[in-house]
A and B are shown apart, each in its own frame.
Chain A
């Protein structure tokens, strides 16, 4: 969990933002809860990863792998909503507001993909694009949660830190591509079935076209994704070069 993992790497409190130094850590009990939470989340995503591998080995092909990990995926991805809520409500200490907004976007888009697209439009569940983003998310989340776990315990192996701030370079575009392709694949089915759409006339004088909404969501990736990506690149430069200095001074 992104808490002010006291001591450890000062430039990084989990979300890689400036940490106000005067803020104290969450205390022993709080840290314990956070460690448990992060361990559980790491384990959860590992379960998903293992499930994927096993299903692949069993079936021999990579179609329909979604079904083998559907439930844990929904559970753990939605769990991230709770995490985000706690961040926003400031029950978690040491977080800078700007990063809350960015991570909120990410969590919202993930939950949206999981429930409002993949779960709702059954026909896309066999698409390869689903696998693409599931794999990307799985690897990212395993690294992220183990990063938080180790940070909290003040024993962060450089490998994990490096992985967190480097692998995203490939995983981010991979995930985004998978997400966009999945939404795109869902479009014709949404149009056909009128899913989540309401049209005039009706008592409440309201209309909503889910098809158009999905297209707008896809378009919104264009301004948002580069910002997130460059933010992470910036963080990477800051964090990894900071560690170099630490090492040199030792």
Chain B
């Protein structure tokens, strides 16, 4: 192997020797307990002598992030429709293909579908992933979670015995406006983040507020995309006044707070001049 070989080249060579282990599946380290080496690293810049010992670990079958997201998000989209259109096996034969007398149910379907279609579009056109793949078994877990919850909340919203929100039109209108604002915010942040990596570079950079008012949340939090996402689901809960939606929102909030704190810590570690006003997900609080 040449001294100026990159880890990527080493991975390709390894793959030729062992066809079973394609590059994405290889974890190459200098130390069995250490971190995996990145593709861009060059052999001679690593702390090795004249001969280097590299440790290989099989990460298991991998699947691309884009593929994962596409599967994860298409599921809820169509599952919701099964309940919205009241397929016979859902609410019984008597209620099959009927529709709800409440306008909010139609609105909820539009919002829910809009949310997942937006996510699908972002996955294809906007997101730039730093890691190409994730382990295959994660997809089963993730899909169970997304699809399961989508089914559970769709069941109640589209149920023949659904009760519309207590404060009627006022509550629904407020929720719709909040929903739209949060979706716009979330989209703006995703675009801003993807612009940081415009030329395909994988270097991490500090995101800053731009001319778009929605990105001004960057003054206060490291991960405003998660903030907006939680906001979207809160608005959906208000719109439908449905406990399962509320529970889903709570779980989303917990999961995203964990991710946000992680990201926030990584930023703080990597950048000495990181803005000190910023919290991870809720301004001034969390």
Interface secondary structure of B, over-half rule: loop
CB distance from B276 to the nearest CB of A (A): 28
* Residue of B with least CB distance to A207: B156
**A98 contacts which chain B residues (CB < 8 A)?**
none
Within the complex, which residue of A201, A204, A207 is in contact with B241, where a contact is CB–CB below 8 Å? A204
- A204:B242 contact, CB within 8 angstroms: yes
Q: Is B142 an interface residue (CB 8 A)?
A: no
Within the complex, which residue of B161, B166, B240, B243 is in contact with A201, where a contact is CB–CB below 8 Å? B161
**A206 contacts which chain B residues (CB < 8 A)?**
156, 242-244
* Residue of B with least CB distance to A206: B243
A204 to B243, CA, bound (A): 6
Q: How large is the interface on B (under 10, 10 to 19, 20 to 34, 35 or more residues)?
A: 10 to 19
Q: Is B14 an interface residue (CB 8 A)?
A: no
- A205:B240 contact, CB within 8 angstroms: yes
**A246 contacts which chain B residues (CB < 8 A)?**
none
A201 to B162, CA, bound (A): 6
- A200:B241 contact, CB within 8 angstroms: no
CB distance from A5 to the nearest CB of B (A): 27
A205 to B105, CA, bound (A): 12
**B241 contacts which chain A residues (CB < 8 A)?**
203-205
**A201 contacts which chain B residues (CB < 8 A)?**
161-163
- B163:A202 contact, CB within 8 angstroms: yes
A206 to B161, CA, bound (A): 10
> 1/0 per residue A188-210: CB within 8 Å of B?
00000000000011111111000
A74 to B161, CA, bound (A): 40
**A207 contacts which chain B residues (CB < 8 A)?**
156
CB distance from A235 to the nearest CB of B (A): 25
CB distance from B65 to the nearest CB of A (A): 27
* Residue of A with least CB distance to B163: A201
Q: How large is the interface on A (under 10, 10 to 19, 20 to 34, 35 or more residues)?
A: under 10
Q: Is B157 an interface residue (CB 8 A)?
A: yes
* Residue of B with least CB distance to A205: B242
CB distance from A203 to the nearest CB of B (A): 6
A207 to B153, CA, bound (A): 11
Give the contacts of B163-184 with A (CB-CB under 8 A).
163, 166
**B243 contacts which chain A residues (CB < 8 A)?**
204-206
- A200:B242 contact, CB within 8 angstroms: no
CB distance from A198 to the nearest CB of B (A): 10
CB distance from A20 to the nearest CB of B (A): 13
- A200:B244 contact, CB within 8 angstroms: no
Give the contacts of A196-248 with B (CB-CB under 8 A).
200-207
A204 to B247, CA, bound (A): 12
CB distance from B151 to the nearest CB of A (A): 14
Q: Is B159 an interface residue (CB 8 A)?
A: yes
Within the complex, which residue of B156, B166, B244 is in contact with A203, where a contact is CB–CB below 8 Å? B166
* Residue of A with least CB distance to B155: A207
Give the contacts of B137-168 with A (CB-CB under 8 A).
156-157, 159, 161-163, 166
- Using a CB–CB cutoff of 8 Å, the interface residues on chain A facing chain B are 200-207
> What 17 additional pairs, Cβ within 8 angstroms, besides A200-B156, A200-B162?
A200-B159, A201-B161, A201-B162, A201-B163, A202-B163, A203-B163, A203-B166, A204-B242, A205-B157, A205-B159, A205-B162, A205-B163, A205-B241, A205-B242, A205-B243, A206-B156, A206-B242
Name 5 interchain pairs, CB-CB below 8 A, sorted by A: A200-B156, A203-B166, A205-B163, A205-B241, A206-B243
